[in-house]
Structure 1
Amino acid sequence: MWLEIGLVILGIVVLVTIVNFVLRKLLQIEKEKKDFFSYDYINEQHRKIEQWVRWGWMLASLIAFSLVLYQEFPVIFYLFLFIAWMTTDAFVRAYFQWKHSDQPKQAILTLSEMAIWISAVTLVIYFDVFNFLT
């Protein structure tokens, strides 16, 4: 099962990389320098909002996880919460890239990456690829 999960994640990463490459070439978007595990905030307001989103996600995640474990809520409840967090995080980043960055076209890449990840997670849920829902 872990090999399957790893292969799905690897496939999504490859797809995101290809789509980003094609969009960069088509829309002439400059490559942004960023470290692998960095947050790369646009400004101080972006940092504060993203930290609120992250803390909110952690709190909601703990609540959802305990509901799934102790109240026998379906696992899909947690997965939908994960999709909501991914969407919120990407929209906040895209907004600040578009409005407050010197490279506003980066927002296109952020939104396309979000769409791919959300589509992939949704398809995994819909087709119950890893038998989470059974």
Structure 2
Amino acid sequence: MVSLLLMKAFHIEREKGKQPFSSFNHVNRLHKKIDLFIIVFSMITFVGLFLLYKEESIPFIFFALIIFSVMEYVIRAFLNVIIYYSQNPKQAILTISDMLLFVIRIIFLITFF
């Protein structure tokens, strides 16, 4: 919903051939490799945190989820702006807003549940 409002406000066109709500919208092969590395590394970290801290692992897992998600979104925004600056630099606005909304949702979950 927020993405659609931002797209209208900043006159950002939806990228052709890409799903609007898919997490696998890679900018290029480098982004795909980095994203795969982050996913594998985060899964290893989540399993390690769970095995080390079985009782108190939930806060650690939420914190790691925030860190890895922010890393992935920052990399996507960086690649949108720096590498493909001539095609659609405003796409980074949507990426950063998605990141902020995701972090707010996770903090909300941690705080109220």
What stretches of structure 1 of length at least 5 have no aligned partner?
1-17, 129-134
User: Which residue among 121, 124, 127 is the counterpart of 2:109?
Assistant: 124
Query: Residues 38 and 122 of structure 1: is their aligned pair in 2 closer, same or farther, counting only changes over 3 Å?
Result: closer
Equivalent residue number for residue 41 of structure 1? 26
> TM-score of the superposition, structure 1-length normalised?
0.73
> TM-score of the superposition, structure 2-length normalised?
0.85
Give 1:56 deviation, angstroms. Answer: 1.0
Query: Residues 42 and 74 of structure 1: is their aligned pair in 2 closer, same or farther, counting only changes over 3 Å?
Result: closer
- RMSD (CA atoms): 1.7
Query: Residues 126 and 38 of structure 1: is their aligned pair in 2 closer, same or farther, counting only changes over 3 Å?
Result: closer
The size of the alignment, in residue pairs, is: 109
What stretches of structure 2 of length at least 5 have no aligned partner?
none
- Determine if the alignment matches structure 1 residue 30 to structure 2 residue 13: yes
Poorly superposed stretches of 4+, deviation over 4 Å: none
Bigger radius of gyration: 1
Determine if contact 1:42/1:100 at 8 Å carries over to the other structure: no
| Correspondences of 1:1-134 after superposition (within 5 Å) | 18-33=1-16, 34-35=18-19, 37=22, 39-69=24-54, 72-101=55-84, 102-128=87-113
